[in-house]
Amino acid sequence: MRPYYINSNGIISRKDESLVLKSRDGESEIPLNDVDSLVITGNATLTKPAIQLLSRAGIPVFLMTSSGRYISSILPENYLISGKVRIMQFSRFLDPGSRMHLARAFVIGAARNYNVNLRRHGGAPRIRVSFRDVLSATDIPGLMGIEGNIADSYFDSLDTVLPEEFRIGTRSRRPPMSFGNALISFVNSLIYSTVSSEIFCTHLDPTVSFLHEPSTSRTSLALDVAEIFKPILGHSVIVSMIRRKELKPDKHFVSNGGVFLNEAGGGWCSAGSVKRWKRQYIQNR
């Protein structure tokens, strides 16, 4: 099972027990027997019969902008709901000590994987992480500030192994203002949607998180969990693709009030990410 990414514009409709994407390039079938989620970054429209089929098959849909920013989700009704598990999850959130324990674990997990990725791409200096500061944080805002400082140090180190035109520099998100920031934002969104899909396969409530504040408009638990996987599943792919010169500023990006991947760049980056994840991680789950 794997996520299926749609970067093209068009209409997604139902055809028997499958979906069909009708675009300017013609029709392409989307078989559902090996798909666990649908991630739409292009300007594609879902018909009602298509949504009904996806709901019946238990397949969530994640809607993203072309730059990789999360918009919304279409979730199967009452998908894997368990009252007992959710009560336990809520109790952990409501207990300040339990919430801080879990929030610290997400920060520590992310920090350790930052160094895993830096070590994987030789030449990048490992960052110094003060676990004492993380463990001594007494509230969520203070912990988020520490996490932000760790992330800044990580991106500074990552820039040392990237060519100048792809360096991240100051992290910018809405909108990203450089090629490096555009790649980080786009791949982070792919990680977020993949983690969201995995959470929907559990009995956990995706809107109740511990490091990030819960929100009614997003699956904030995925923001927590995605922190751990961004460097080893997402950023590692970016560095590899840049080093192999698979991404080119004049071919895969567009400037429009910011810097974004175009349709070709988004498709190429998605395909490269899925291929790497499937080979290194997904097949070993």
CATH topology of domain 2-74: Ribosomal Protein L15; Chain: K; domain 2 (3.100.10)
Which residue intervals of the chain bear CATH 1.20.120.920?
A: 83-284
Question: Which residue ranges does the chain devote to CATH 3.100.10.20?
Answer: 2-74
How confident is the model over 197-242, as pLDDT tens digits?
A: 788 777 888 889 999 988 765 688 999 999 999 998 889 888 888 8
**How far is Cα 281 from Cα 285, in angstroms, rounded to an integer?**
7
Would the pLDDT of 276 be above 80?
no
Contact 195, 226 (CB under 8 A): yes
Of 95, 284, 108, 69, residue with least CA distance to 192:
69
pLDDT at 285 over 70: no
Q: What is the pLDDT of residue 105?
A: 95
> What pLDDT does 80 receive?
57
Residue 273: pLDDT band with limits 50, 70, 90? low
Q: Exposed, middle or buried: residue 108 (CB in 10 Å: 0-12, 13-18, 19+)? A: middle
17-30 b/e (C-beta count within 10 Å ≥ 16 → b): eebbbebeeeeeee
Per-residue pLDDT of 95-125, as tens digits, reads 999 999 999 999 999 999 999 999 988 877 8
Cβ contacts of 70 within 8 Å, gap of 6 or more: 62, 63, 64, 189, 192, 193, 218
The answer to whether the predicted template modeling score (pTM) of the entire model surpasses 0.85 is no
Q: Which of 39, 43, 35 is nearest to 8 (CA)?
A: 43
- Expressed in angstroms, the distance from the first to the final Cα of the chain is 11
Lowest mean pLDDT across 87-91, 151-155, 181-185, 275-279: 275-279
pLDDT at 257 over 90: no
The amino acid that residue 59 corresponds to is I
**Which residue has tokens 């995706």?**
206
Mean pLDDT of 118-142: 88
Pull the structure tokens for residue 227: 């922190």
For residues 174-182, average pLDDT: 87
- Which position has the token pair 């919304």? 72
Reduce the DSSP state of residue 202 to 3 states and report it: coil
pLDDT at 72 over 50: yes
Q: What is the arrangement of strands in the sheet containing 18-23, beginning at the earlier edge strand?
A: 26-30, 18-23, 10-15, 44-46
Is the separation of the CB atoms in 31 and 18 below 8 Å? yes
Which CATH architecture is the domain 83-284 placed in?
Answer: Up-down Bundle (1.20)
Q: What is the pLDDT of residue 131?
A: 87
Q: For 36-46, what is the mean pLDDT?
A: 82
Give the integer Cα–Cα distance in Å for 195 and 210. Answer: 15
